[in-house]
Amino acid sequence: MKTANAQSTGNIITANAPALSGKPIAVLHQAVTPPSLGGAVKPSNPFGYRDSSADIAFALAQAGCDVLTPVDDPRPDVDAEWTYPDTLDGITRAVSDGAVVLWANTSLFDEHPLAHFGSRSGLYVVGQPLDVVEKFEDKNVCQAAISAIGVPVPVQALVNVEIGPAKAQVETAVSTKGLSFPIIVKPVRGRGSAGVKVVGSVGDAAEHIESLVGPKFGGKFLIEEYLSGRELAVTVMPPGIYETADGVRHEATHWPLPAIERTGHRGGVMPFSGVVPIQSNSKPAGDDDQLREFARHAVRVAQFLKATAPIRIDCREDADGVIKAIDINMKPSMTGPGRPGREQMINLSALSGTEIGWSYTELLAAIAVNAAPVQRITRPSTHGGPRALRQAGLPTSSAGARLACHRLTPTR
C-alpha cells in the first residue's frame, strides 16, 4: 500500500477532513471508454480526467487525509502518480491497497467495472448510481423526465440521423415545436460544451449536426430553444452531515449551494474552463425570488435522481425571466488549485462552496466524508424515474439500446 505523504504537501486543519480518519481514499481517473448507447456516445475526456483527479488526491493529502496512490511519493506535477485507472484491474488494486472510499472521477454507466464490487462491505463511493447515470445522461430522456415533475426546461426536439436526413428533421421540429432562430444544437450525450453551437437557420443546424455524426458523438442530437438571459450554475449536495463555518449541518435531504452566474459567452456558449478560467467569467449570483425558486427545482431534480454525490444543474433565463434547466451534470468538474501551475483551476461547485465558507479542499472533504455505500451505486436504483418517464412518453428501460460493449483500455 502506498500513501501520499501529507507532510510533503503541507498539513493543515480542514473542515470535514477529521471525519475521514481511518478511511483511506483512492481517486479513480477515466481509462474505460463509455459505450455507445442507442446510437449516442459520450466522448471520453482527452486526458481521462487525470488532471482533476490528481487535484482531488493532492488536496485531500494536503489536508492530512489518508490518500492512496499507485506509486510511492507521488510528484505534485505528475498527474498519473496520484490516481488509479477505473478499469477492473485498477479498482482491484486500489481496494487491495486498502481503499475504503473510491472517488469515481470518471464517466459511469451500468456495466462499469465498479459493478463488480457491489457486494463488498465497508466500501464507499463518491459517484452516482450506475443505472441512473446511464439513463439520465441522455439529455433527451433527462429533460423530458424532469419536465414531467414540474422543472422548467427549454423547448427541444430530437434529431436522429439514423432514421433520416438531419435537415428534414430540423425543419419538422422547428415547425411542430414552434422554435424560432437562433437555436442551440447539442449532442444527446455530450460532455461540457463539446459539440454545442448556436445556429441561425435550418441549413446551419443540419450542417453542424452532419459535421458531428461519427464515433465521437454518435448519431443523435438535440435542437433546443435558445435562452438569451443570464446563465447560472447550481450545485446540489446529497443528504449527509457537513461541517461549515456556521457549525455542523445535518441535512436529511438534498440541499443547494448558492448559485453562480456565468458571463463571457462565445458565440452564445460558455467556453471550456480549461481554456478560460472560471474566475474570469463566473461569480456568485446573489439572491432573488427567481434564484430561490430555481434552487427548489434543482433540489427536486436531485431527489428525483436520488443523487448520491453532488450534481450541478446549468440553467438559463428566458426572455420572461423564467430560469430553465439546460443541462444536468452528474459528475461536476472538481478541478482545483494546489499543485504547481494549477492556481487558477477552480471549479464552479468550489466557487459556490466559498459562499458558505468552504475552501476547495473543504468541499472535497465534505463530499468524501458523505460517500455512499457501494451497494447504492451498483444496485438498480429505486428512484421514481419510470413513472416520470411514462408521463413524458419515454421508455422506462434502456434495455436493448446498447449497441456496443465498452472496451477496457490498457492501464499503463
Asked whether the predicted pLDDT for residue 177 surpasses 80, the reply is yes
Average pLDDT over residues 143-160: 97
In a domain, 409, yes or no: no
Distance in angstroms (rounded) separating the CA atoms of residues 412 and 410: 5
Judge if 161 and 245 occupy the same domain: no
Pick from 170, 190, 225: which residue ends a domain?
225
pLDDT at 406: 33
Average pLDDT over residues 221-244: 96
Mean pLDDT, the chain, rounded, equals 90
pLDDT tens readout for residues 284-309: 999 999 999 999 999 999 999 999 99
In a domain, 78, yes or no: yes
Average pLDDT over residues 348-372: 97
Concatenating the DSSP letter of every residue in 188-237 gives: TT--TTTT-EEESSHHHHHHHHHHHTBTTTBSEEEEEEPP-S-EEEEEEE
According to DSSP H, which parts of 306-359 are helical? 348-353
Pick from 225, 250, 280: which residue ends a domain?
225
In a domain, 191, yes or no: yes
Judge if 83 and 180 occupy the same domain: no
Q: In terms of residues, how long is the chain?
A: 412
**Domain with 89 in it: what CATH number?**
3.40.50
Owning domain of residue 291: 230-369
Task: State CA 365 to chain mean position distance.
Answer: 18
Calculated CA dihedral for residues 238, 222, 323, 264, nearest 10 degrees: 90
Q: What percent of the chain lies above the pLDDT cut of 70?
A: 89
Judge if 121 and 182 occupy the same domain: no
Contacts 24+ apart (CB under 8 A), 48-51: 48/85, 48/106, 49/105, 49/106, 50/79, 50/80, 50/83, 51/79, 51/335, 51/342, 51/345
Judge if 252 and 364 occupy the same domain: yes
Judge if 248 and 359 occupy the same domain: yes
Average pLDDT over residues 327-344: 95
Asked whether the predicted pLDDT for residue 111 surpasses 80, the reply is yes
- Helix (H) / strand (E) containing 80: none
Average pLDDT over residues 87-101: 98
Q: What percent of the chain lies above the pLDDT cut of 90?
A: 79
Q: Look at 267 and 140; give whichever has higher pLDDT.
A: 140
**Domain with 172 in it: what CATH number?**
3.30.1490.20
pLDDT at 276: 73
Judge if 26 and 125 occupy the same domain: yes
pLDDT at 194: 85
pLDDT at 13: 67
In a domain, 5, yes or no: no
Q: Look at 90 and 5; give whichever has higher pLDDT.
A: 90
pLDDT at 410: 32
Judge if 259 and 171 occupy the same domain: no
Average pLDDT over residues 142-153: 98
Average pLDDT over residues 223-233: 95
Judge if 216 and 239 occupy the same domain: no
**Domain with 283 in it: what CATH number?**
3.30.470.20
Structural domain count of the chain: 3
Judge if 334 and 204 occupy the same domain: no
pLDDT band, very low/low/confident/very high, at 261 (cuts 50, 70, 90): very high
pLDDT band, very low/low/confident/very high, at 268 (cuts 50, 70, 90): confident
Asked whether the predicted pLDDT for residue 214 surpasses 60, the reply is yes
pLDDT at 300: 98
In a domain, 149, yes or no: no
In a domain, 398, yes or no: no
Phi/psi region, residue 225 (left: phi>0; alpha: psi -120 to 50; beta: rest), is: beta
pLDDT at 229: 94
Pick from 175, 202, 225: which residue ends a domain?
225
Judge if 235 and 358 occupy the same domain: yes
pLDDT at 279: 82
Judge if 240 and 306 occupy the same domain: yes
Q: Considering just the CA atoms, what is the radius of gyration of the chain in Å?
A: 21
pLDDT at 5: 56
In a domain, 390, yes or no: no
In a domain, 412, yes or no: no
Judge if 282 and 234 occupy the same domain: yes
pLDDT tens readout for residues 16-46: 999 999 999 999 999 999 999 989 989 888 8
Q: Do residues 54 and 336 make contact, with C-beta atoms less than 8 angstroms apart?
A: no
Q: Do residues 5 and 66 make contact, with C-beta atoms less than 8 angstroms apart?
A: no
